[in-house]
Chain A
């Protein structure tokens, strides 16, 4: 836990603790009178796959938007790499090493797969707009470097055959993969996936699960994901946060969560008072 007085991390029993990559403390998010997130605290450890689950309207996407810096919570603090994060713009968050995909695909439909994935490198391009337009000096070297990285990702996700295809022409499952590719192109430390498997068939889900595990294994990327498919969540993730009506009702390993009475009630639809 973060010690309020010293501002340093110490385990509760006094031994040296693992510093979580990100910690959310007592987050409250309201839209007018509607409370989307009520006093939620949890952490994401370096290198783990952390799932956020819950019924529709539980506040999962809102929570993800808080992590990505798109929403600013009215109360609570977000601690990234041991330091409290001041409210910042999404692009500043991206520069800190956080990348995401969206629930309903947000790609540039008229652009090719390659160009879409290249946009993921934008935060890493330093040369001026003029230099890039004229393709002179550092711009040329930079583009070659970035293209190299992008090609590695294209190879990693097996999308070589659609490299030059406009994204608008691709089937849904492939678009999802392209979106993952763009997020990976930013070489994030923390990757946020908003329902990466929504609307996919079994085969596509299996492929996507494989890719998520491979990303985690190969690049050591920490992953936080929202997902509806319980089978997938339980298989993939190291730890799971369960939300219902903006509250956290469970947190732990898949096995712990599976046996939690509150979680069972939420999923089986026991009446709320």
Chain B
């Protein structure tokens, strides 16, 4: 066990790394599964790799203030690169690895990156493709040499080569590196992260060492994170959450960051590592739950009965046991038996046996999904954050966990709700500025340091918990005067496993309509069980029985929406199921999988007008982008269905009451 770590003058991540190497050098810092084996880097090894790489980068010409882009999946070498870049006084800028060349070009151009550290040929090719537009770009470094042998190496080199040149130049340039590293202060830029941009171009958020270190310190203490904790790093490196969890908190507390073998091996890597601290977006939890349910459908009758019986019991008492509430002895004993027979094995299959602290954020999570995990004894909580806040705005303390709030202000964060309902915050993690965009900086952050979140919400008086209603700019009015909060309805729709994505339209109109995406895994398995034959995603999406099923979900949502006086005007009158899955490659979602309402509305305007003009079906043709960036077109005839809505009279009355 490692002694309490010193917390003296630690003003940068390289300083934290040096402390960790000094005080627990032999402990695992990073692990990566490669060639079927987990390979470990201790803090000592990490430090020496970072030192060599930093000197190699200085030798290459990296100067303080330069931007160095990072393009690739979660890998220890790339995480260590970020610290090495900081050690030279330069600023790392991680990019979304799935970004197509065009998107990557925008960010590389905007930040004026002089160097890029790329994972492999695929990423190097992206940079080369847009090279002409990147006047400042000097050199590309790659990790995986495969396929790159024949490339002109005048402006690209291998990661190993840079490390070797760094090792050779240690005598000559080591002093320079140490000088630059020690000059780093709390007010210096730590990292620049580009927001995914639900509207318009991404913005470069500049976060300082002070932002990151302070946020990491406070949040680590909030959840009592320890050096012995383990995390699995699989969320995009360009996302602020990953930077805080896998770099900030990991360096502050000294826990170990594990990188999966590949995207497809995630679930088995998760099982092998058994993280103690786990983070996933709602989508991930939904997907895992859907898989469990699909597999249970195929299980034998005895197993199904046992699963159903004990899950029912868990639903009743599991959450209360987790929160330390009062539960009778008989129920506790039965829960313990369930743990042995069902919950334990299930948690093991999910890779969550050891989870001590789990978080979900980014989107609202369905209450049933949330309760499912909590009832198993997994301490899943919600947090609300932003890139601009170095993640943390609010989070749920242990034992105060509910699915409909996002928790209380994180330590050190102040919150106020503006007159228009928009949530504002001020915190030590608050970003310095948007890079090369003073107008946006000024309109988001006021001179006193208050930042507008762009989300509408309110604070519950009884508990002090924050509740988020919707994106402030999405909240509008129907032409009847009723309040229009699309996300509120979309979330209700998305809580059904069969519905993957929903987009609701209605601002300025007299009623609401919706586009839906079916979840291929869930609906496909349902179709198989019900002997429904289909040849393609498109065919399945338009199958009458699928539409019947979806209609039932929409009707149920309408009934639940109608119960809310303020929002009863948001019931879905007509809907259609889209013939293609909404995709970030087509610009319909952000890289963090959030819906771009405006883009979708414009792209499918023929479908929106068909939903309003009363047509029964609509013929449409859509451009799609394949993974390699090529484009194609798909055509389809989509069926439009009417949903049951609560009588218009009550809706109008409710709308008037709201005014």
Contacts and interface: CB of A to CB of B under 8 A. Distances in A.
Contacts of B265: 160-161
A160 B264 CA distance: 8
Interface stretch (B146-154, B197-205, B510-518, B643-651): B146-154
A151 interface: yes
Given A214-B146, A214-B147, A217-B150, A152 B264 contact: no
A217 B147 contact: yes
Contacts of B36: 147, 151, 154, 160, 163
Interface string B142-177: 000011011000000000000000000000000000
Interface in B34-55: 34-37
Interface in B263-313: 264-265, 268
Contacts of A214: 146-147
B538 to A, nearest CB: 16
A148 interface: yes
Nearest to B37: A151
B146 A148 contact: no
A218 B120 CA distance: 14
B146 A161 contact: no
A235 to B, nearest CB: 15
Nearest to A149: B35
Contacts of A156: 146
A156 B36 CA distance: 12
A148 B262 CA distance: 18
Contacts of B262: 158, 160-161
A253 B264 CA distance: 39
Interface string A130-168: 000000000000000001100110111010110110000
A163 B35 CA distance: 11
B519 interface: no
A155 B264 contact: no
A161 B34 contact: no
A217 B265 CA distance: 27
B263 to A, nearest CB: 8
B261 interface: yes
Contact of B35 (A148, A164, A217): A148
A19 B36 CA distance: 39
Interface string B576-601: 00000000000000000000000000
Contacts of A218: 146-147, 149
A164 B265 CA distance: 11
The dominant DSSP class at the B interface is loop
Contacts of B147: 214, 217-218
The dominant DSSP class at the A interface is helix
B296 to A, nearest CB: 20
A147 B262 CA distance: 19
A218 B261 CA distance: 21
A160 B35 CA distance: 8
Contacts of B149: 217-218
A214 B145 CA distance: 11
A151 B35 contact: yes
B35 A152 contact: yes
Contacts of A158: 262
Interface size class on chain B is 10 to 19
A117 to B, nearest CB: 11
Nearest to A155: B35
A152 B262 CA distance: 14
Contacts of A151: 35-37
Nearest to B36: A151
A103 B36 CA distance: 29
Contacts of B35: 148, 151-152, 154-155
A158 to B, nearest CB: 7
Interface string B18-38: 000000000000000011110
Contacts of A148: 35
A158 B268 CA distance: 16
A164 to B, nearest CB: 8
Contacts of B146: 156, 214, 218
B606 to A, nearest CB: 28
Nearest to B628: A206
Nearest to B263: A161
Contacts of A152: 35
**Of listed B35, B147, B261, residue having the most chain A CB within 10 A:** B35
A122 B147 CA distance: 29
A100 B146 CA distance: 23
Nearest to B121: A214
A161 B264 contact: yes
Interface in A178-196: none
Interface string B339-356: 000000000000000000
A158 B121 CA distance: 14
**Of listed A161, A163, A214, A218, residue having the most chain B CB within 10 A:** A161
A160 B268 CA distance: 11
A156 B147 CA distance: 11
A126 to B, nearest CB: 23
Contacts of B264: 160-161
A217 B150 CA distance: 9
Nearest to B265: A161
Nearest to B150: A217
A147 B147 CA distance: 24
A148 B34 CA distance: 11
Interface in A200-216: 214
B615 to A, nearest CB: 34
Nearest to B33: A160
A149 B146 CA distance: 16
A156 B34 CA distance: 11
Interface in A77-120: none
A218 B264 CA distance: 24
A155 B36 CA distance: 9
A218 B146 CA distance: 7
A192 B147 CA distance: 22
B287 to A, nearest CB: 16
A163 B150 CA distance: 30
Nearest to A163: B36
Given A160-B264, A160-B265, A155 B150 contact: no
Nearest to B266: A161
A151 B37 CA distance: 9
A164 B271 CA distance: 14
A165 to B, nearest CB: 10
Contacts of B37: 151
Contacts of A147: 36
A158 B35 CA distance: 11
Contacts of A160: 36, 261-262, 264-265
Contacts of A155: 34-35
A214 B149 CA distance: 10
Nearest to A202: B626
Nearest to B264: A161
Nearest to B34: A155
A105 to B, nearest CB: 21
A217 B268 CA distance: 32
A140 to B, nearest CB: 16
Nearest to B267: A161
Contacts of B34: 155
Contacts of A164: 268
A151 B146 CA distance: 16
B270 to A, nearest CB: 13
A85 B264 CA distance: 45
Given A151-B36, A163-B36, 12 more contacts: A147-B36, A151-B37, A152-B35, A154-B36, A155-B35, A160-B262, A214-B147, A217-B147, A217-B149, A217-B150, A218-B146, A218-B147
27 contacts: A147-B36, A148-B35, A151-B35, A151-B36, A151-B37, A152-B35, A154-B35, A154-B36, A155-B34, A156-B146, A158-B262, A160-B36, A160-B261, A160-B262, A160-B264, A161-B261, A161-B262, A161-B264, A161-B265, A161-B268, A163-B36, A164-B268, A214-B147, A217-B147, A217-B150, A218-B146, A218-B149
Interface of B: 34-37, 146-147, 149-150, 261-262, 264-265, 268
- In the A-B complex, the 3 residue pairs with the smallest Cβ-Cβ separation, listed nearest first, are A161-B264, A151-B35, A151-B36
